[in-house]
Amino acid sequence: MKKKIFIFSALLISSLSIAQKKELRDAEKALKKGSIADARTALQSVENSIDSADEKYQAQYYFLEGKLNYEQAKKGGDADESYQKAVEAFKQLIEVEKESGSEKYTGEASQLIQTISADLVNSAVEDNQNQDYAAAAKKLYMAYQLDTNNQDYLYYAASSAVNGEDYDTALKYYEELKELGYTGEAVKYYATNKESGEREELSKEQRDLMVKAGTHEKPEEEKTESRFPEIVKNIALIYSQKGDSEKAIEAVQEARKVDPEDVNLLMTEANLYIKLGQKDKFKEVMEQAIQKDPNNPMLYYNLGVITGEQGNKEQARKYYEKAIELDPTYEASYMNMASLILGEEVAIVDEMNSLGTSKADNKRYDELKAKREGLYKDAIPYLEKILELNPESVEATKTLMNIYGSIGEDAKYSEMKSKLETMQ
């Protein structure tokens, strides 16, 4: 009885293998004839049983499945999905043959993978040019899946995702690049064309051959900069964009360890502290930035803002003056300087309003009035400079009009009033 069951089972397995072999052969013939529909029908008939098939049939199935989807992608329709299915099928094929020790289909599949990679990259370039960044990112990532040794594809996929404002996808790709330790560093080869005198970029083999042939001279090599600092910086910026300031600060601090001289990283960290309301930390980081870039007016301007908010008006004024010294066209510095000066008016007016009618109060009132007018006169040059830089500044025009009216400069008051009427 046991012998009969064993023989019956063997017959079932044998029949199954024969059926699989026939359907796979039919699929292969259909593909050669260009009949994708017939090939798909044949493959679908063995799809459910392929996992239990011999490894040689599994390899053949995945190879044909990959080719079928590749041909489908070339014909149009949902090319992205077809490319993705082709990628997955070829990866499974290579894995199956790797385990079995066979390489019957691996060589041809590898060539097709290279072809698909080139197709995907070329298509992604076109998508980027058409600003279809989502499609470009997807295709570049598929190209990377096909050739994980080419991590540049993953880097450009992340860049495309950023351009398309798909920050979740970009973050995933950047995190993967970070884990891989990707730098993108490469050596570029150059030689000077003797006839044209131009320095040309060549492959190493081309350069060496042309120098040897005498058509080129001055062979040179240059190593490109590492992209790793950019990657960790972008991770920080994306966390910031997503509103996760804590993770963003952690990421930017890590980025600073990689590239401690990058002032932009310091600025990124400083801005994150502002979002968290940590003004002391902001000031500390900005001061570090000034040490690295002492001629950057924006750094002094930002320190002026925070120092003024913290109540140190005198130091804030010094920062604004330094920003103006470094960039006399920095309009915001003039505006903030005028605001800083005029901000002292509130306390003066409050005291004036609190005074009585005694002789001493009247004397104090006159002192405060003169002090108030002194503030106005201190602010005027900064406001006038704003109008010199930006004649359409409504805020500067209105403020000057009010000041001129208060100090009795009637002609200038009328001038500013007429100017303001043309703006509104």
CA 361-363-366 angle, to 5 degrees, is: 110
Residue 71 in any domain: the answer is yes
Write down which residue in 223, 241, 271 finishes a domain.
223
User: Which of 335, 178, 201 has its CA nearest to residue 255?
Assistant: 178
Write down which residue in 200, 223, 246 finishes a domain.
223
Residue 171 in any domain: the answer is no
In the chain, count of helices (H) and strands (E)? 20, 3
3-state secondary structure of 222: strand
Verify that 89 and 206 share a domain, yes or no: no
Residue 251 in any domain: the answer is no
Verify that 27 and 96 share a domain, yes or no: yes
Write down which residue in 124, 148, 172 finishes a domain.
148
Residue 337 in any domain: the answer is yes
CA atoms 10, 12, 16, 19: torsion sign: positive
Verify that 142 and 191 share a domain, yes or no: no
Verify that 22 and 118 share a domain, yes or no: yes
Q: What is the DSSP annotation of 265-300?
A: HHHHHHHHHHHTT-HHHHHHHHHHHHHH-TT-HHHH
Rounded Cα distance between 377 and 375, Å, is 5
- The enclosing domain of 376 has a CATH number of 1.25.40.10
Residue 135 in any domain: the answer is yes
- The enclosing domain of 126 has a CATH number of 1.25.40
Rounded Cα distance between 240 and 147, Å, is 32
Q: Which domain holds residue 94?
A: 18-148
Residue 69 in any domain: the answer is yes
pLDDT tens track, the chain, 424 positions:
444 444 444 444 344 455 567 778 877 888 888 888 888 888 887 777 777 777 888 888 888 888 888 888 887 667 778 888 888 888 888 888 888 888 888 888 888 888 888 888 998 999 999 999 999 999 999 889 888 889 999 999 999 999 999 999 999 999 999 999 898 888 888 999 998 999 988 888 998 999 999 999 989 998 888 888 788 888 988 888 888 888 888 888 887 787 787 777 777 788 778 777 788 888 888 888 888 888 989 888 988 888 888 788 898 899 899 999 999 999 999 999 999 999 999 999 999 999 998 999 999 999 999 999 999 999 999 999 999 999 999 999 999 999 999 999 999 999 999 999 988 6
189 DSSP β-pair partners: 202, 221
CA atoms 223, 229, 235, 240: torsion sign: negative
Verify that 139 and 203 share a domain, yes or no: no
CA 162-165-166 angle, to 5 degrees, is: 85
Residue 400 in any domain: the answer is yes
Verify that 130 and 60 share a domain, yes or no: yes
Residue 267 in any domain: the answer is no
Domain count, the chain: 3
